[in-house]
A and B are shown apart, each in its own frame.
Chain A
Amino acid sequence: MKPHTLLALFTIPLGLIIAAVPSNKTNPYKLSASELLGEANARTQYITPDVVADMIVNKDPSLQLIDVRSQDEYEKFSLPGAINIPLADLLSDKYSDIINQDVKMNVFYSNGTLTANEAWMITRQLGYTNNYVLEGGLNYWFDAILNPEKPASTSSDEEFARYDFRMSAGQALGGGTIIQTTQDQSSKSALPVIKATPRKKKASGGC
């Protein structure tokens, strides 16, 4: 057999296979450092409290609030429907189904934004999508949603509309008085139970 024929017999079928199969998307690292920096600079991870409040009030099923503070802090106060994944346990197997999915919109929150951003950065570096950070954290949430400041009379209509929305959202979410014990309990009873289903290990080959 001529070397050409031999080469063609080897390479053409291999080429057909590689052209037919989809490329492997299971790489462990999805973002380079500069891409991550670009995303962080563009602040694409932030969701404003108004959007989150609107989704909570409307009981939007696609919202998944994730409290990345410690369990103690979570039990004292948490946003309605939020689940608790302390940052230290973020990579634990039982939560991987929650943070690595493409159905719900995960919104990390902490008191400020630091811890939530850390959680976002880790999940983003793992290539997970649909993870966001509550802009301003809980501190800003209290100011903006639960105790909104009445805009000056010279403010634009938009600001008044936002104020009205925040007032009504704040009332719906038990605002005004920040942490009422009754409110706390009702929010606690509404907490969904996290079913920890161990994620199946992918047969990824190699290491």
Chain B
Amino acid sequence: MGPLVVNGIISENTNLFLAFIIGIGFGFVLENSGFSSSRKLAGIFYGYDAVVLKVFFTAAITAMLGLLFFSLFGWVDLDLIYVNPTYLTSAIVGGIIMGAGFIIGGYCPGTSFCGASIGKIDGIVFVVGLFLGVFIFGIGYDLWDGMYMARFLGSPKISASLGLTDGFFALLLILVALAMFWVAELAEKKFPREEY
């Protein structure tokens, strides 16, 4: 049955409309769990607030379990799901830039729009910076073209490279996530910070 667009069950336009609805829901949840505060997001780096870790890992394992069970019931064909291809060098360099931006600005791209939409000045500044970055990347593309496309790995899965089944890897990831939540809560107790 799924993916709905690939199998022609819904049109590309319906897909965009559903993405719009889901996007509104996503923004609502981000705002509702305090993600429009840059202090909350930077908190994961300083250890006083682990809500970023908890929300995103919970989202990841929920989506992972959902996809695996949907595949088990024959509702979705995992082979047809688009997986972002891995260019190792860009992944590492981009990860460092994004991580640094996360700590300095206190936002990731999605949450900066959350902050900007409720009028937070740092959020608006972050969005402007984001577009500046996109612009600089586009203008100077020829300079980092080689690095950008370097070390292409296709769409590897960690489970496949470890020789594990998807299901067993999912179980491991759930256990790791729960352990991380526990460690993060210890950190929150150790580095408390009130009033933000």
Contacts and interface: CB of A to CB of B under 8 A. Distances in A.
Given A21-B167, A207-B1, A15 B175 contact: yes
Interface stretch (B27-35, B40-48, B69-77, B139-147): B69-77
A15 B174 contact: yes
A182 interface: no
A18 B170 contact: yes
A97 B177 CA distance: 46
Chain A contact-residue range equals 20 to 34
B181 to A, nearest CB: 6
A23 B165 contact: yes
A24 interface: yes
Interface string B63-85: 00100110111110111100000
Interface in A27-42: 27-30, 32
Interface string A5-29: 0011001101110111111101111
B86 interface: no
B182 interface: yes
Contacts of A16: 171
A18 B181 contact: no
B73 A4 contact: no
B65 A14 contact: yes
B79 to A, nearest CB: 6
A32 B155 CA distance: 14
Interface string B1-39: 110000001000000000000000000000000000000
Contacts of A28: 77
B53 interface: no
Given A7-B178, A207-B1, A15 B170 contact: yes
Contacts of A19: 165, 167-168, 170-171
A23 B73 CA distance: 10
B93 to A, nearest CB: 28
Nearest to B58: A7
Given A4-B181, A14-B65, A21 B79 contact: no
Contacts of B2: 206
A4 B186 CA distance: 13
B103 interface: no
B74 A206 contact: yes
Nearest to B169: A19
Interface string A89-106: 000000000000000000
A192 interface: no
Contact of B71 (A11, A14, A23, A30): A23
A188 B61 CA distance: 61
Interface of A: 4, 7-8, 11-12, 14-16, 18-24, 26-30, 32, 204-207
A-B complex: 3 closest residue pairs judged by Cβ atoms: A15-B171, A206-B1, A19-B171
30 contacts: A4-B178, A7-B178, A11-B61, A11-B174, A11-B177, A11-B178, A12-B171, A12-B174, A14-B65, A15-B65, A15-B170, A18-B68, A18-B69, A18-B72, A19-B165, A19-B167, A19-B170, A20-B167, A22-B165, A23-B165, A24-B74, A27-B77, A27-B78, A29-B80, A30-B79, A204-B74, A205-B74, A206-B2, A206-B73, A206-B74
Interface of B: 1-2, 9, 58, 61, 65, 68-69, 71-75, 77-80, 165-168, 170-171, 174-175, 177-178, 181-182, 185
Given A12-B175, A27-B77, A205-B74, 20 more contacts: A7-B181, A11-B61, A11-B177, A12-B178, A14-B69, A18-B69, A18-B72, A18-B166, A19-B165, A20-B167, A23-B71, A26-B74, A29-B79, A29-B80, A30-B79, A32-B79, A205-B73, A206-B1, A206-B2, A207-B9
